[in-house]
Amino acid sequence: MTLDWLLDPWSAGFMRRALVEAVLAGALCGALGCFVLVRGLAFFGESISHTIVLGVALAFLAGLPVSLGAAALAAVTVLAVQAIGAGGRLSRDTAIGILLPSLFGAGVALIALSEGYRSRLEDVLFGSILGVTDADLILAAAVAAAVAGALLLAGKELALVAFDRSTARAMGYSVRLLDLLLLGLVALAAVVALRAVGNLLLTALLVGPPVTARMLCRRFWPMVALAAALGAGAGIAGLYATWYFDVGAGPAIALAVGCVAVAASLVAQGRRWERRRAATAGAGPQ
Amino acid sequence: MKRAAAGSPPAIVALDLSVAYEGRPALTGVTFSVPAGTLAGVLGPNGAGKTTLLRALLGVVSHTGSVEVNGSTSYVPQLSAVDRTFPVDALGVVLMGRYPRLGWLRAPRANDRRVAAELLDQMGLSDRARSPFASLSGGQRQRVLVARALAQEGEVMLLDEPLTGIDVASQEVVLQVLADHCADGHTVCMTTHDLAQAARVCDRLLILDGRLVAEGPTREVFRPEIIRAAYRAELLSLDGETALVHHGVHPAP
B100·A214 Cβ contact <8 A: no
A166·B81 Cβ contact <8 A: yes
Question: Cβ of B96 under 8 Å from any chain A Cβ?
Answer: yes
Distance from CA of B222 to the nearest CA of A (A): 30
Q: Which residues of B5-33 are buried (b: 16+ CB within 10 A; e: fewer)?
A: beeeebbbbbeebbbeeeeeebbbebebe
Residue B122 has pLDDT above 80, yes or no: yes
Burial of B103: CB neighbours in 10 Å, binned 0-12, 13-18, 19+: exposed
Instruction: Write the pLDDT tens digit of every residue in B80-115.
Output: 999 999 999 999 999 999 999 998 889 999 999 999
**Residue type present at position A213:** A
Which ipTM was obtained for this model?
Answer: 0.87
Strand pairing class (B10-21; B24-35):
antiparallel
pTM, two decimals, is 0.88
Most B-contacting residue of A152, A173, A219, A223 (CB-CB within 10 A), to test interface: A219
- B152: chain A residues, CB-CB within 8 Å: 171
B89·A171 Cβ contact <8 A: no
What's the CA gap between B179 and B38, in Å, rounded? 9
CATH of B73-154, one of 3.40.50.450, 3.20.20.60, 3.90.550.10, 3.40.50.300: 3.40.50.300
State the pLDDT confidence band at A285, using cuts at 50, 70 and 90. Answer: low
Three-state DSSP class for residue B131:
coil
Instruction: Write the pLDDT tens digit of every residue in A19-54.
Output: 999 999 999 999 999 999 999 888 888 888 888 889
Element (H, E) at B59: none
What's the CA gap between B12 and B215, in Å, rounded? 13
Architecture of domain B1-71+156-167+188-253 in this structure: 3-Layer(aba) Sandwich (3.40)
Closest partner residue to A153 among B89, B96, B105, by Cβ? B105
Question: Cβ of A219 under 8 Å from any chain B Cβ?
Answer: yes
Distance from CA of B253 to the nearest CA of A (A): 32
**Residue type present at position A280:** T
Closest partner residue to A219 among B58, B89, B105, by Cβ? B89
What is the residue-averaged pLDDT of chain B? Answer: 87
Short-list A49, A50, A18, A17, CA closest to A32: A49
Distance from CA of A268 to the nearest CA of B (A): 15
B60·A170 Cβ contact <8 A: yes
- B58: chain A residues, CB-CB within 8 Å: 169-170
A167·B77 Cβ contact <8 A: yes
User: Residue A130 in contact with residue A22, Cβ under 8 Å?
Assistant: no
Instruction: Write the pLDDT tens digit of every residue in B27-63.
Output: 999 999 999 999 999 998 888 999 999 999 999 999 9
Q: Identify the pLDDT of residue A85.
A: 73
- B60: chain A residues, CB-CB within 8 Å: 169-170
| Ordered structural domains, chain A, with CATH | 13-281 (1.10.3470.10)
Closest partner residue to A169 among B60, B86, B104, by Cβ? B60
Fold: same for B1-71+156-167+188-253 and B73-154: yes
Most A-contacting residue of B99, B106, B156 (CB-CB within 10 A), to test interface: B99
Q: Identify the pLDDT of residue B3.
A: 46
Instruction: Write the pLDDT tens digit of every residue in A118-142.
Output: 777 778 888 888 988 898 899 999 9
Biggest CA–CA distance in chain B, Å, is 55
Q: What are the extents of the domains in chain B? A: 1-71+156-167+188-253, 73-154
According to DSSP, the residues that pair with B207 across neighbouring strands are B43, B214
Instruction: Write the pLDDT tens digit of every residue in A75-118.
Output: 888 888 888 777 767 777 888 888 888 888 998 888 888 777 77
Three-state DSSP class for residue B25:
strand
What's the CA gap between A35 and A28, in Å, rounded? 11
Short-list A124, A139, A185, CA closest to A24: A139
State the pLDDT confidence band at A283, using cuts at 50, 70 and 90. Answer: low
